[in-house]
């Protein structure tokens, strides 16, 4: 993070960018359609029989509901705050509330998807243990654990123990942990975003490799096209799309923190670059449900990855 970042109790007005209204409109429109897609898939999880009876339906519904909240409320409101900050003064203590809500929701969503990815990993790579992670107590832990993780990660800044969320005049997101707590800017994202992302990446890579190996074994036995071979092919195609979705998540969310840490001068010198990276973040949860084929959705994967295979 930029060592010249200044944290303060008084609000500032950031420079206004000429294309910012268009930027805001694009984000709000895409997030609206993303939230709508998440709402439809959430309802489908509740009413569509194969999904409702899925052993992991609770985890699926939990992730989709959090995506709906992030896409429909958290990111749009944050985008509006970014726009407002270029025109008017924000209240001096605005970030003490808004920062806590924003980072709690983001870290909660990241950990919920990490739990979902590990669930898929066990179902695909360790199927003999899958029943153990779909018992009622295990599912309760899977849903509660992300909430506890986010609470613990945000506790010090929210309770203002040694640090707190404050306004920064160095970038347009407005709220980051301060004052002058460089370690918090590393530790909080490490446990809130980067560790869950590593779990997701490892899980989906392993699922894709396992699915590919299953297809190769089936092709090698020279038994022709069967229901099993078709289903295995579906699993592999879905595993590839899940991996692509993970790559999209990384592309959308990591450029801003990486450049702000390693290339702060170049980033802060270009408002275009800052808003481009922010825009990717604010639209990251909106694009997944409406990606080509809609296979990025949790529902499609659950139908294929956890469905029993029969000839």
d(CA 106, CA 134): 25
Q: How many CB atoms lie within 10 A of CB 223?
A: 11
pLDDT for res 31: 93
Q: Per residue of the chain (311 residues), what is the pLDDT tens digit?
A: 333 444 444 444 445 567 788 889 999 999 999 999 889 889 988 888 877 777 788 998 999 999 999 999 999 998 898 888 777 777 878 888 898 999 999 999 999 999 999 999 998 889 899 989 999 999 999 999 999 999 999 998 888 887 888 877 655 556 777 766 667 778 888 999 999 999 999 999 999 999 888 888 766 565 556 677 777 788 888 888 889 889 999 999 999 888 877 887 888 778 788 888 888 888 888 766 443 333 344 444 444 444 444 33
pLDDT for res 10: 43
Sheet with 164-168: strands ordered across: 7-8, 164-168, 175-178
pLDDT for res 288: 61
Query: How far is CA 62 from each of CA 54, 103, 210, 271, rounded to the nearest angstrom?
Result: 13, 18, 26, 36
| Residue 151 near residue 111, CB atoms below 8 Å | no
pLDDT for res 95: 84
pLDDT for res 13: 45
As a 3-state breakdown, the chain gives helix, strand, coil percent values, each rounded to 5, of: 75, 5, 20
pLDDT for res 111: 96
d(CA 86, CA 279): 16
């Amino acid at each position: 993070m930029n060592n010249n970042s200044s944290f303060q109790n008084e609000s500032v007005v950031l420079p206004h960018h000429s294309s910012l209204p268009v930027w805001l409109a694009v984000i709000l429109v895409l997030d609206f359609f993303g939230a709508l897609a998440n709402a439809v898939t959430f309802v489908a999880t509740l009413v569509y029989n194969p999904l409702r009876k899925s052993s992991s339906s609770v985890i699926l519904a939990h992730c989709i509901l959090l995506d709906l909240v992030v896409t429909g409320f958290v990111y749009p409101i944050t985008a509006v705050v970014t726009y407002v900050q270029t025109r008017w003064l924000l209240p001096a203590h605005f970030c003490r509330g808004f920062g806590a809500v924003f980072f709690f929701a983001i870290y909660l969503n990241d950990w919920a998807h990490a739990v979902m990815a590990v669930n898929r990993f066990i179902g695909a790579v360790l199927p003999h243990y899958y029943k153990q992670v779909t018992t009622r107590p295990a599912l309760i832990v899977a849903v509660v654990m992300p909430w506890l993780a986010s609470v613990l990660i945000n506790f010090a800044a929210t309770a203002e123990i040694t640090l707190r969320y404050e306004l920064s005049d160095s970038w347009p997101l407005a709220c980051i942990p301060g004052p002058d707590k460089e370690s918090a800017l590393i530790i909080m994202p490490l446990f809130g975003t980067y560790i869950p992302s590593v779990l997701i990446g490892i899980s989906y890579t392993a699922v894709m490799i396992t699915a590919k190996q299953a297809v190769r074994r089936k092709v090698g036995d020279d038994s022709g096209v069967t229901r099993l071979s078709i289903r295995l092919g579906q699993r592999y195609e879905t595993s590839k799309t899940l991996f692509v979705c993970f790559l999209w998540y990384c592309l959308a969310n990591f450029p801003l923190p990486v450049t702000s840490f390693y290339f702060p001068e170049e980033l802060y010198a270009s408002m275009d670059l800052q808003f481009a990276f922010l825009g990717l973040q604010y639209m990251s949860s909106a694009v997944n449900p409406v990606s080509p084929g809609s296979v990025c959705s949790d529902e499609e994967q659950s139908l294929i990855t956890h469905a029993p295979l029969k000839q």
